[in-house]
Amino acid sequence: MKKDYIKKNIIGFIVGVILCMGTLVYAAVTFPSNEVSYDNTESGLSSTTVKGAIDELYTECTKEPPAGEQIIEDAGLEKDPYECRYFFTGKNPNNYITFNNEKAGWRIVSIECDGTIKIMRINSIGNRVWDSSNSNNWARPASLNTYLNSTYYNRLNSTAQSQIVAKDWSIGAVASNDNNMANTIKNEKASKWNGKVALVTASEYVRSNSNKSSCGTVQQIWNSAQCKGTTWMFYSSNWWWTLSPYSGTSSYVFDVSDYNGSFSYNDAYFTFAVRPVVYLSSEVKITGGNGSQNNPYTLG
């Protein structure tokens, strides 16, 4: 990212002092900037002259950051060691957000490095089958895929719809005895589906847990009650679906227990709670709030 470059490098030919994202960049000049070429290979800038580089850097420094960057700077999220993402973890982080006029009705799963924000509805929109034909292939499409991306999406207000972006979702199958998070993520990413509304994956549920030593893998959360108190995703109202198929069959899908927060898997034609997940555009801005339940983030 251009701002990362600015933060890590002193540009010796820029005149004056630029205050950018809390970093002071000191510069001196001994030649006319508009006549000197500039090697932009590593900077991410488009300009090939010093004057152009100065103008471009000034624009970057004064530009209001997207909502994702605002939250990263304000909230101190946990940087994911496996992907370029930032996760909210623990029992009750300040990750509440108002979306679709539902005040504090959603919570932020992660901030992606492209500036998009992944959010999850706190409460279920009702109990539904994952797939009526008992297939765990989300891209087929599964019945729940069709419902979420047509009926449910169409019920969202126009502002909410405009804030959602289509993204590639990881829909690969996961093993219940997988004790290596890097391997779990690799398996999830082996299959992709592009769309607007889906669910959290098994690995995302694991990564929302702050108890990394005892609850840091799929295997550790399998049939274990010790992890429900260290993740904000725990939901006590009903068993709920994830996006991840179980690798052992073509019909089982991972779900999460309502009484101990552990993983299990069941046939896709079973009926469990549905907690929709969407990606918000990197163009949205934070207009208020601090992420607490009483003062959730608001978007503009």
Q: Take residue 90 and report the two structure tokens written for it.
A: 């623990």
Q: What is the pLDDT of residue 225?
A: 83
Residues 105-130: what's their mean pLDDT? Answer: 96
Q: Is the pLDDT of residue 75 over 90?
A: no
Q: Is the pLDDT of residue 227 over 60?
A: yes
Amino acid at 191: S
Please state, in angstroms and rounded to a whole number, the distance separating the CA atoms of residues 150 and 130: 15
Q: What is the pLDDT of residue 192?
A: 98
Burial code (b: 16+ CB inside 10 Å, e: under 16) for 111-138 equals: bbeebbbbbbbbebeeebbbbeebbbbb
Please state, in angstroms and rounded to a whole number, the distance separating the CA atoms of residues 198 and 71: 23
Please state, in angstroms and rounded to a whole number, the distance separating the CA atoms of residues 223 and 240: 15
Residues 156-178: what's their mean pLDDT? Answer: 97
Q: What is the pLDDT of residues 232-264, one digit of tens each?
A: 999 999 999 999 999 999 999 999 999 999 999
Q: Is the pLDDT of residue 21 over 60?
A: no
Judge if 72 and 48 occupy the same domain.
no
Residue 177 resides in a domain: yes
Please state, in angstroms and rounded to a whole number, the distance separating the CA atoms of residues 33 and 14: 8
Short-list 53, 43, 30, 51, CA closest to 3 = 43
Residue 300 resides in a domain: no
Last residue of a domain, one of 62, 92, 112: 62
Q: Are 20 and 28 in contact (CB under 8 A)?
A: no
Residue 195: partners with Cβ closer than 8 Å, 6 or more residues away: 145, 149, 166, 167, 169
Judge if 178 and 54 occupy the same domain.
no
Q: What is the pLDDT of residue 142?
A: 98
Please state, in angstroms and rounded to a whole number, the distance separating the CA atoms of residues 73 and 111: 11
Judge if 261 and 229 occupy the same domain.
yes
Judge if 51 and 86 occupy the same domain.
no
Give how many domains the chain has, as a whole number: 2
Residue 84: partners with Cβ closer than 8 Å, 6 or more residues away: 112, 113
Q: What is the pLDDT of residue 128?
A: 98
Residues 190-201: what's their mean pLDDT? Answer: 98
Short-list 166, 165, 80, 115, CA closest to 286 = 115
Residue 269 resides in a domain: yes
Q: Is the pLDDT of residue 14 over 80?
A: no
Residues 46-60: what's their mean pLDDT? Answer: 70
Q: What is the pLDDT of residue 24?
A: 41
Judge if 169 and 217 occupy the same domain.
yes
Sign of CA dihedral 134, 250, 255, 145: negative
Q: What is the pLDDT of residues 92-106, one digit of tens each?
A: 999 999 999 999 999
Q: What is the pLDDT of residue 48?
A: 75
Task: Give the residue numbers spanning the domain of 46.
Answer: 2-62
Please state, in angstroms and rounded to a whole number, the distance separating the CA atoms of residues 282 and 280: 7
Q: Are 138 and 268 in contact (CB under 8 A)?
A: no
Quick one: pLDDT band at residue 190, thresholds 50, 70, 90?
A: very high
Residue 221 resides in a domain: yes
Judge if 32 and 83 occupy the same domain.
no
Judge if 124 and 168 occupy the same domain.
yes
**Among residues of the chain, what percentage have pLDDT more than 70?**
78
Q: Take residue 203 and report the two structure tokens written for it.
A: 């690995």
Identify the weakest region by mean pLDDT among 10-24, 85-99, 179-193: 10-24
Residues 108-112: what's their mean pLDDT? Answer: 95
